[in-house]
């Protein structure tokens, strides 16, 4: 199975068919026969490329992460800053371009594996940045960086899914990214309009 025009077409078709059908009917309601039919390919060929449905979905996340990682790497070479909110904007823009794939993944379709891969990869990336920043600036974490990272990725993923779901997104990518950065940087009380945390609370 070398890289041909044909094989590429086949794999692309299978991936986008899965995405389309899953969004339409839900993961469990889609059979391999359905995917093959939608892709105009025989069921036998499906098995030439993927062991089963989960394998195809996993490949979709891996591809997506690969593309995202490439864009972030390009940014890193340009900017070399651990303080830019740029990375988040890139994530949201990428997600908008690949809206359907992201929706399938972030919804957790097909046992949660795809989502788990996505979250874990993002977590690793974020953790590295946080730790490197602390190292460079000599700053001491006030809370466990593990929790910090998990929380940060959790925010991203949840807001991302919410933002992607409607057909038209009223808020542009750059703007949600900025909002999320502001919230994360300044905290929830600031975001709620308080200038300081009210007395005798929390």
Partner DNA sequence: ACTAGAATTAGACACAGTGTACAACTTTGG
Partner DNA sequence: CCAAAGTTGTACACTGTGTCTAATTCTAGT
Tokens representing 185 are: 């940087």
Let me know: does 64 contact 98? Beta carbons within 8 Å. yes
3-state secondary structure of 167: coil
10 is a site residue for DNA (CB under 7 A): yes
Which residues, numbered 104-163, are part of the site for its own copies (CB under 8 A)?
107-112, 115-116, 119, 130, 133-134, 137, 139-148, 150-159, 162
Size of the residue set binding its own copies (CB under 8 A): 64
Q: Interaction with its own copies in 43-102: which residues (CB under 8 A)?
A: 54, 81, 83-85
Q: Does residue 179 touch its own copies according to CB under 8 A? A: yes
Contact with DNA (CB under 7 A): which of 33, 124, 155, 182? 33
176 near its own copies, rule: CB under 8 A: yes
Per CB under 7 A, 24 contacts DNA: no
- Number of other CB atoms surrounding residue 118 within 10 Å: 23
Q: What is the DSSP string of 99-127?
A: HHHHHHHHTT-SSTHHHHHHHHHHHHHHH
What CA–CA distance (Å, rounded) separates 27 from 35?
A: 11
Q: Note whether 194 binds its own copies by CB under 8 A.
A: yes
Cα–Cα nearest to 60, from 12, 27, 123: 12
Q: For binding to its own copies (CB under 8 A), which residues are involved? A: 26-28, 54, 81, 83-85, 107-112, 115-116, 119, 130, 133-134, 137, 139-148, 150-159, 162, 171, 176, 179-194, 197-198, 201-202
């Amino acid at each position: 199975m070398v890289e041909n025009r044909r094989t590429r077409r086949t794999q692309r078709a299978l991936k986008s068919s899965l995405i389309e059908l899953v969004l339409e009917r839900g993961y469990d309601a889609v059979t391999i026969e359905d995917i093959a039919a939608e892709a105009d390919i025989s069921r036998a060929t499906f098995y030439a490329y993927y062991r089963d449905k989960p394998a195809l979905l996993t490949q979709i996340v891996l591809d997506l992460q690969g593309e995202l990682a490439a864009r972030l790497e390009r940014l890193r070479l340009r900017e070399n800053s651990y303080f830019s909110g740029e990375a988040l904007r890139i994530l949201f823009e990428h997600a908008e371009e690949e809206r359907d794939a992201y929706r399938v993944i972030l919804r957790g379709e097909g046992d949660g594996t795809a989502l788990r891969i996505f979250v874990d990869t993002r977590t690793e990336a974020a953790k590295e940045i946080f730790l490197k920043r602390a190292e460079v600036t000599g700053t001491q974490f006030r809370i466990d960086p593990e929790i910090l990272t998990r929380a940060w990725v959790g925010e991203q993923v949840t807001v991302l899914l919410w933002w992607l779901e409607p057909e038209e997104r009223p808020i542009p990518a750059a703007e949600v990214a900025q909002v999320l950065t502001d919230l994360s940087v300044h905290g929830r009380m600031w975001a709620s309009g308080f200038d300081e945390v009210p007395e005798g609370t929390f």
